[in-house]
Chain A
Amino acid sequence: MFKKILIANRGEIAIRVMRACRTMGIQSVAVFSDADRNSMHVMLADEAYNIGPAPSLQSYLNIEKIIAVCKKAKVDAVHPGYGFLSESSDFANALEKAGIVFIGPTTDNIKAMGDKIASRDLMKKAGVPIVPGTPGSIKDVAEAEKWAKDIGYPIIIKASAGGGGKGIRVVHEPAELASAFRACQSEGLNYFKDDRVFIERFIQAPKHIEIQVFGDKHGNVCHLYERECSVQRRHQKLIEESPSPSVPPDVREKMGAVAVAAAKSINYLGAGTIEFIFDNNTKEFFFMEMNTRLQVEHPITEVVTGVDLVQEQIKVALGKPLSFKQSDIKQTGHAIELRICAEDPYTFIPSPGKIRRCRTPQGPFVRVDGYAYPGYEIPIHYDPMIAKLICWGHTREEAIARLQRSLTEFMLTGIKSNIILHRNILSHPTFLNGSYTTQFIEKEIVSEKMKKLFMFVDEHVFLVTAAIEAFKDSKSRDVAQYTVASRWKQFGRQKQMRT
């Protein structure tokens, strides 16, 4: 058994890992930057060490400093959380050299899946479907026409060096192909000095569906079913749910089996997630990438399957076999997670600063993984997510109703938060019927159609409250001015007395 684990992370995930450690009787060691001295993970840990200035490169991403703390505190193992060094093979290697266990996959696993192009080939060999497309760039319209016919319309033509929406054309019919091809080539040449283009199937109703996998040192690999993460803003997840309302049961089993086969083919160790792009029209799924770490949205899998994923990570790192067989894993009910972030609900611009009031929801079937407290100053150096709100229900509708209820209780003032955005999404018909795609926020929430988020509050409450407070402020200022006038009088009197 480990005696001490160092958590090379901060915020809510550091607290999550500490909770697993405490449950298992393991001492937890926190590391913190100068900006995080007052962060909750420092206060909840058994031991805490400062690892330097606020910028991540000088603290949470500094391998030497972290290893130095490991040695000083005599830790047995390190849990890297997510982000930061969790997918750094250099970090995993350095720990191995120092004789400290890295709670995660092997260095080979990390390297294999870290290279997006190489991992695609590895997955293809393991029988994982990848987006139908050309293996490389194509020379001319004739070749394009041949490939497009094979892949099947609609297709998307992409400039190899392209980005930012340039050098991309979607083609629905063969008649449009030639001109679209030439347009991509010329944009590629004009903007990126590279006229190479390739073709892929265009997924019209794309959803992001991922499968949680787990492997141990004895060759056992299981999956814990799927999570749907299609509600995204700026390509970052905002809402996740399990099970997905759009995946039919047979496809679900197939995705699980494919994910297990893929993980087995690379002798995967620990927790991992295989992300797929799912075509909601055809119900086909294609490999996108594999994340060789615990994900932010792991709580919904825990709530629906009853498995404590972090404890499982620690057990696997200790060399124990998985505490479950594939046949033990069932999805019970429905769980949805909302990422509560300190940001403007319209523009998504982060809103760091001091939290005034902070009351998180409680009550039946509610889980909050957060780290904010009243008076906490959200630092500018890290990401703006401050809490994850998870609700479970027997049905999807029940989970949503509980989330709406919880959001009315969630008090977070002094900074901007996206609570009101979540309330709007949870009332939106496209989310409620489950048909939402990864373009949902862009197309239906941020668009012209939905200029103002519905507030769920009588507008006059804002105006009346502001007016009463302004009245009070003015009254107290008048008193102060009166005092100032008196001081002028005093000064005048004193001056007269001196002359």
Chain B
Amino acid sequence: MYFHAESNDEKFEITVNESKLGWKVSLKKEGADWIHYEFTKDDYQYMDDTISFLFKNSSYLLDVTQHGVDYTVYTRGAFQTIKLYNEEKILHESLKAVGALGGSDSLSSEMPGKIVKVFVKAGDEIKRGSPLLIMEAMKMENEMRASQDGKVKEVHVKAGDTIESNTLLISFEKNAKK
């Protein structure tokens, strides 16, 4: 099986092959060479509540959660979310016309809270990292920033609004397909 992957804003190609005895996984970072790994089924084992992985003889205890194309891997107190697309998923994503791999055309709230301040209005051009609004939740003020360059299509909330989780906050103009 062949995947496109995105991790920490870096692009990779990954192939996975399973046999009775084990796994063959190959990685290629964009611009670099292929690196090949081989593991036995013993090396990558499922335990009661974790995965025990002996990777190059280093012992890791892992947990993985999946959400759409996002796979979040937890180990040793660290965690990384990796986007994985196989052919079927790439086709699916392009049909959704969200533009570049991993793009998103809206900002929604992850938890209930209160809007403290809104920095943008419809029509504003925004750069990746620029602040969009401040939301108060869990006793703290959280500044939400743009995850990529774009243009604000519509702002659905204003300062003082109390909102539930998964509330649409801001819509962005869809990016042109690359």
Contacts and interface: CB of A to CB of B under 8 A. Distances in A.
Interface of A: 234, 236, 347-350, 352, 356-357, 374, 380-384, 407-408, 410-414, 416-417, 419-420, 423, 452, 455-471, 473-474
B111 A467 contact: no
B18 interface: yes
7 contacts: A349-B144, A380-B112, A456-B76, A457-B60, A457-B75, A465-B64, A466-B71
Given A350-B140, A464-B37, A470-B3, A420 B56 contact: no
Given A417-B77, A456-B78, A465-B64, A348 B111 contact: no
B5 A463 contact: yes
Given A410-B77, A471-B16, A460 B55 contact: yes
A458 B86 CA distance: 24
Interface stretch (B44-52, B91-99, B150-158): B44-52
Contacts of A416: 79
B60 A461 contact: yes
Interface stretch (B7-15, B100-108, B118-126, B168-176): B7-15
A382 B82 contact: no
B18 A462 contact: no
B115 interface: no
Residue with the greatest number of chain B CB neighbours at <10 A, chosen from A374, A407, A457, A473: A457
A460 B60 CA distance: 12
Interface residues of B, number: 53
A468 B15 CA distance: 9
B79 A464 contact: no
Given A357-B50, A461-B75, A464-B37, A469 B64 contact: yes
Nearest to B23: A468
- Sorted from nearest, which 7 A-B pairs have the closest CB atoms? A419-B77, A413-B63, A413-B74, A350-B138, A466-B71, A462-B80, A471-B16
B63 A383 contact: no
A461 B59 CA distance: 10
A382 B71 CA distance: 28
A465 B139 contact: no
B84 interface: yes
B76 A382 contact: no
Contacts of B62: 461, 465
B142 interface: yes
B25 interface: yes
A37 B2 CA distance: 46
Contacts of B3: 467, 470
